[in-house]
Structure 1
Amino acid sequence: MAAGGRTREEIIVEKAMESCIFKSIMSGIAGGLFGSLMGLVFGGYSNAVDTAVETNGTAKQKLLAAGKVAKNTCLRQAKTFALWGAVYSGTECTIEKYRAKHDLWNSLVAGCITGGVLTSQPKIAMGAKARATQMGVGCGGVAMFSLALDYFLEHRES
């Protein structure tokens, strides 16, 4: 038995679950699942689904085309939310451990970094100035969203 009546294995598991890497991975998985659900729900409202349904063909062909669009929407949303969750959670945890404080600054900085990463889009060709502007807007937007969310959910009473 180790300190506090816990076994050595329990302490190891507890420390692993408190690590920033574990939190980042779990947030990425949860974000991916949430994004899949969002893609499934909102994928049906896509113009591409309307186009697939309005095409000439059998009902089976139309259903397959709409299913393909819904699948692509689910995957895209899952990747976006997984990246959001993993980057934000990992960044906020790292900042909080480094600063040894749990306050609104952690959310602000983590949101800024997450917004910059999400809007960087390396596959899209654009100039450096346009990319920097896009990342700046993403940084500011997600930082303010994170700050407001953290304030209203955790820090409003204090």
Structure 2
Amino acid sequence: MEEYAREPCPWRIVDDCGGAFTMGAIGGGVFQSVKGFRNAPVVSLKDSLLGFRHRLKGSANAVRLRAPQIGGSFAVWGGLFSTIDCGLVRIRGKEDPWNSITSGAMTGAVLAARSGPLAMVGSAMMGGILLALIEGFGILLTRYTTALEPRLALATYSSPDPLAPGHLQVHAR
């Protein structure tokens, strides 16, 4: 099984920070557009087209104001996570799922530091559990797909004509 190759650590931090900003801005834009549309005040009940336009303006205004803020919050999380992850790779000398799990826990704790020690512990647990679930799902998915590869290799074509009956036959060994 081939190891997944990533960028070297200084560039990984910048890449993850930018990717997190993009993900937060797009996701925040979608949610804020719905929220802005629903919460926009209705101007007139008589003219439904005018009310719809006003709601669209409210939606666009909410996206303009909040999507960059949400993207920035995601970028801070992604940058801090990658920085801690790169530090752990450097200290431990290996890249494995434990680095990501520990990075998630430490990121949660650092971001909750202003709220006190109890909030830090809770956020660290949530970050570690979330990253453990993500890493565990990734490992299971990798094992499942590698287990399917030998089965897919058994499929052979019996006829060069794709319209012929029995074109695709699976032979068991």
- Aligned counterpart for 1:133 among listed residues 85, 103, 118: 118
Q: Write the distance in 2 (CA, Å) between the matches of 1:102 and 1:114.
A: 18
Q: Does the CA contact (< 8 Å) of 1:112 and 1:139 recur in 2?
A: yes
- In structure 1, stretches of 5+ residues that fail to align are 1-16, 123-129
TM-score by length of 2: 0.64
What does the per-residue CA deviation read over 1:40-90, in whole Å, with 9 as the maximum and x for residues that have no partner? Answer: 2111232x54221x3327555543332111222311220121112111112
% identity of equivalent residues:
20
- In structure 2, stretches of 5+ residues that fail to align are 1-6, 45-49, 144-173
Q: Does the CA contact (< 8 Å) of 1:116 and 1:136 recur in 2?
A: yes
- The match for 1:109 is 102
TM-score by length of 1: 0.69
Q: Is residue 145 of structure 2 the alignment partner of residue 152 of structure 1?
A: no
Q: Does the CA contact (< 8 Å) of 1:83 and 1:118 recur in 2?
A: no
1:94 maps to amino acid:
G
Q: Write the distance in 2 (CA, Å) between the matches of 1:108 and 1:148.
A: 9
- Aligned counterpart for 2:28 among listed residues 17, 24, 39: 39
Matches within 5 A, 1:4-153: 17-18=7-8, 20-46=9-35, 48-52=36-40, 54-56=41-43, 61-120=54-113, 122=114, 131-153=116-138
Q: Write the distance in 1 (CA, Å) between the matches of 2:37 and 2:25.
A: 17
Q: Write the distance in 1 (CA, Å) between the matches of 2:84 and 2:64.
A: 30
Q: Write the distance in 2 (CA, Å) between the matches of 1:91 and 1:116.
A: 12
Q: Does the CA contact (< 8 Å) of 1:35 and 1:80 recur in 2?
A: yes
SS where residue 45 of structure 1 aligns?
A: helix
- The match for 1:8 is none
What does the per-residue CA deviation read over 1:1-54, in whole Å, with 9 as the maximum and x for residues that have no partner? Answer: xxxxxxxxxxxxxxxx51x232111111111011111012111232x54221x3
C-alpha deviation, 1:103, in angstroms: 2.6
Runs of 4+ aligned structure 1 residues displaced above 6 Å come to: none
Q: Does the CA contact (< 8 Å) of 2:33 and 2:60 recur in 1?
A: no
